[in-house]
Amino acid sequence: MDKVIYANNLSLAYNDRETIINDTSFSIESGSFVFITGASGSGKSTLLKSFYGAISPKRGDLIVGGVELSNIAPKKLNLLRRHIGIVFQNYRLVNEWTIEKNVILPLIISGYSKEVSTSQVEKLLRHVKLSHQTGKYPQELSGGEQQRVAMARALSHNPILILADEPTGNLDDYSSQVIWNLLQGANLQLKTTVVVVTHNIPKTLNLEYKHFHLENGVLNEVL
C-alpha cells in the first residue's frame, strides 16, 4: 500500500525552543483511518500541523502526499494543501462569509469552475444536512452545525488526506456522532485517508483503524 505520510527520524520544535517531537519514525498508509492520542501538551496538534506544513521539521524527513516538507517552497506547499482537508476543534470558519461561501472556498482555490463548485457545494450541504441553511452565517449556527460546515469544506475538493484536530472536542454526543459518521463515510466511500488527533477514540465506529500514541515526543503504534 502507498504511504500518504512518511516520517523518518522526525524532530519538531517551535523556533529554537524545546523539541516537542523527538526523533520519531512512522508511516501512514493511503486509505487508512488513523487516530493519534496522547496526553495534553504531548505534541499531538504540533505533529498534525507538521503534516500540512504549518511547522517545518527541525531534523529528519517528513513526506506528505509524496512531497518532502523540509524547507518546502511556499508555492509547492500551497499545491500540496489543495489536496488536504483540515478540520479544527474551533471550526475556523470565515465568520463574515455565508456557509455556502465557506464550503466553496477550497474549490475556488483549486481552480474548479463555478458550475462544478456550486453543484459540489449543494451536494455536500445536503450530505451534512445543512442545505436549508446555505445563506446563513457561521455565528447563526450551533457548534455542531458549524463543525458540519467545516466537514463539508474539508471534503469539498476531494482531498487525499483529511486531518482533524479534536473535531468533536466542543460538541455534544449527538453532534459528535454525526461528525464521526461523516469522517467514517469519507474513508469508506471515498477512500480518503483520515488522521484524527483526539483524547478519546469513539466506540461506535464500524471500520478498521490504526491507533498511534504519542508519549515523550515519540509516536508509537498501539497494537
Q: Contact positions toward other proteins, by CB under 8 A?
A: 14, 49, 52, 54-55, 74-75, 77-82, 84, 86, 92-97, 105-106, 108-110, 153, 157
Q: Which residue number, 75 or 132, has a Cβ lying nearer to other proteins?
A: 75
CB of 31 to other proteins, least distance (A): 22
Q: Which residue number, 52 or 209, has a Cβ lying nearer to other proteins?
A: 52
Place of cell 471500520: 207
CB of 206 to other proteins, least distance (A): 30
Q: What is residue 56's three-state secondary structure?
A: coil
Q: Which residue number, 41 or 208, has a Cβ lying nearer to other proteins?
A: 41
Instruction: Give the integer Cα–Cα distance in Å for 67 and 185.
Output: 26
- List helix spans (H) across 7-163: 44-51, 74-81, 99-109, 114-127, 143-155
Residue in 9, 79, 8, 77 with CA at minimum distance from that of residue 49: 77
Name the grid cell of 136.
446563513
Q: Which residue number, 45 or 133, has a Cβ lying nearer to other proteins?
A: 45
CB of 9 to other proteins, least distance (A): 22
Q: Which residue number, 63 or 105, has a Cβ lying nearer to other proteins?
A: 105
CB of 86 to other proteins, least distance (A): 6
CB of 57 to other proteins, least distance (A): 14
Residue 91 Ramachandran class (φ > 0 left, ψ -120 to 50 alpha, else beta): left
Q: Which residue number, 109 or 207, has a Cβ lying nearer to other proteins?
A: 109
CB of 1 to other proteins, least distance (A): 25
Element (H, E) at 104: helix 99-109
Q: What is residue 178's three-state secondary structure?
A: helix
Asked if residue 166 lies in contact with residue 187, where contact means CB atoms within 8 angstroms, the answer is no
Element (H, E) at 181: helix 173-190
* Sheet arrangement for strand 67-68: 19-29, 3-13, 59-64, 67-68
CB of 167 to other proteins, least distance (A): 15
Q: Which residue number, 37 or 49, has a Cβ lying nearer to other proteins?
A: 49
